[in-house]
Amino acid sequence: MSRVGFAERRATSIESLTDTALETSQIEGEVLSRPAVRSSVARRLGVPIGAAHPADAQTEGVVEVTLDATHHRDEPLTADRLYGWHALLFPGRYGERQATVGRWRDDRVGPMQVVSGRIDAPTVHFEAPPADRIPDEMNAFLEWFNLKSREDGLIRSALAHLWFVTIHPFDDGNGRIARAIGDMAVAQDEHSSERFYSISRQIRIEKSAYYDILERTQRGGLDVTIWLEWFFGCYHRSIEAAKQTLGEVLHATKFWDAFGEVEMSARQRRVLNRLLAGFEGALTARKWAAIGKTSPDSALRDISDLLEKGVLIKNPGGSRKTSYRLATPNSS
């Protein structure tokens, strides 16, 4: 990413932060609107992205937590800060249970358990520590986290994630906050708020394994080895998955490095950027007209001009199958 300009880095970071906010919610069954999340992220970062999409309070809250964890990574993690995150995740959605938002759980309806199966014969996967232990447990956790201990940054992120979700200090939202804390630890280790990959996205893809490893670890005493092994693998796979997106960014950068000085219209640049953003299938004059919102004749003139300038290349094929592709610096 050091090879691309600031605008490309910022755009890629916005997409990664959008993925994180969307996926951490989807793990818990909450489906948010991608355009609304992306618009909220960009607005908070002061980046114009065209048409704005309205976002509800829940979307704004998830985005706020995501950005606070990474962009204010060096501020102390405190109980009050966690209360604020929790309130942001559940804006006015609890009705009579509103008092439980923004404070530790009290177990007034019984112990905090993760269960599945029939109501009359549930399977208990995990039972959190009693509510009266939460203040001491959280004080110990926060003291450890704020010391920024000498553990490797990724180990610290994995342990923070596991430790918080095992204490389970809130009635709901513990997984989302645990993942935000994990991202905060990684951002501290990288000394950067820029995100070019999303661990939450990979966790969502591997959701079944995620819950299985958590249960096995929480039931397995104090040995966290299997959790660390899985977490490191998930982190690695999130980096691998990001390579495709980053590859597209680098491809676009190389393209404009080679052809950026070529004289062309705003419409031609707009369509070319759309092609660089992952356009699928063969490019035809008809598709150019649709993307550029212009007439077939104007589309043909655009294409002919770019063929002459070496920006486009005509693919082999007859007149009815005439299609084109982007030139590369090596083929221009």
pLDDT in tens, 225-275: 999 999 999 999 999 988 877 777 777 778 888 898 999 999 999 999 888
Range from 83-87, 177-181, 277-281, 323-327 carrying the lowest mean pLDDT: 277-281
Which pLDDT score is estimated for 220?
A: 81
Which pLDDT score is estimated for 96?
A: 44
How sure is the predictor about 288, in pLDDT bands with cuts at 50, 70 and 90? very high
pLDDT digits (tens, 9 = 90+) for 127-137: 889 999 999 99
Please report, rounded to a whole number, the percentage of residues in the chain having pLDDT higher than 70.
Answer: 93
Degrees to nearest 5, angle at CA 177 with 171 and 183: 165
Higher pLDDT, 7 or 314: 314
- What is the mean pLDDT of the segment spanning 7-31? 89
Region label for 314, one of left (φ > 0), alpha (ψ between -120 and 50) or beta (otherwise) = beta
For 73, 117, 128, 133, 145, the CA distances from 218, given in Å and listed in that order, are: 27, 19, 9, 17, 20
| Burial of 80 from C-beta contacts in 10 A (0-12 / 13-18 / 19+) | exposed
CB 183 within 8 A of CB 215: no
Which pLDDT score is estimated for 3?
A: 72
The average confidence (pLDDT) of the chain is: 88
- What is the mean pLDDT of the segment spanning 63-78? 96
Find, among 107, 205, 99, 213, the residue nearest to 165 by Cα.
213
Domains of the chain listed by start with CATH number:
6-246 (1.10.3290.10), 260-326 (1.10.10.10)
| Res. 299: pLDDT tops 80 | yes
Phi, psi of 122, rounded to the nearest 5 degrees: -75, 155
What secondary structure letter does DSSP report for 105?
A: -
| Res. 186: pLDDT tops 60 | yes
Find, among 200, 137, 210, 146, the residue nearest to 170 by Cα.
137
